[in-house]
Amino acid sequence: MDTPSAAPYPYRGPVEWQAPIGASLAAVIDPEVAMSIVDVGLVYGVHVSDDTVAVDLTMTSAACPVARLIVEEVQVALDAVLPEAFAIDVRLVWDPPWTPARMSERGRAHMQW
């Protein structure tokens, strides 16, 4: 059964996966700002189907030098909590463009904004 999102990004999928997936994503740190990718607002959405977890992710800039590293860390973090049968599809998206307005309150406080 799908559940409405209580996360700072849209989540579609079984309720039992929302917390472990959310915790895994929150544990991934953007090394450029030393903050969770969730607090930076880089996660645009998560969709869980029968055998796939799709994560739409953006970067603060298309020229982000750590984009590949962050994508790999998301895959590793999700792989650690999901059954082996799940495929993990991390997609970089650029629309809408990231803005500081996507940051969480904690993220803004960290940046002293």
pLDDT of the residue at 109: 85
Residue 112: band (very low, low, confident or very high) from pLDDT cuts 50, 70, 90: confident
The architecture (CATH level 2) of 11-93 comes to 2-Layer Sandwich (3.30)
CB 39 within 8 A of CB 110: yes
pLDDT of the residue at 28: 98
pLDDT of the residue at 35: 94
C-alpha 54/C-alpha 61 separation (Å) is: 21
Position 52: which residue type? Answer: T
| Segment 43-63 mean pLDDT | 95
| Segment 16-40 mean pLDDT | 95
Q: Are strands 11-12 and 29-30 parallel, antiparallel or unpaired?
A: unpaired
Residues 6 or more apart in contact with residue 106 via CB below 8 angstroms? 39
Check pLDDT > 60 for residue 5.
no
Check pLDDT > 90 for residue 108.
no
List the domain boundaries for the chain. 11-93
Q: Are strands 43-48 and 35-36 parallel, antiparallel or unpaired?
A: unpaired
Give me the chain's average pLDDT, please.
Answer: 91
Cis omega before residue 65 (within 30°)?
Answer: no
pLDDT digit string, tens, across residues 71-85: 999 999 999 999 999
pLDDT of the residue at 7: 65
Sign for the CA dihedral angle at 20, 43, 26, 73 comes to: positive
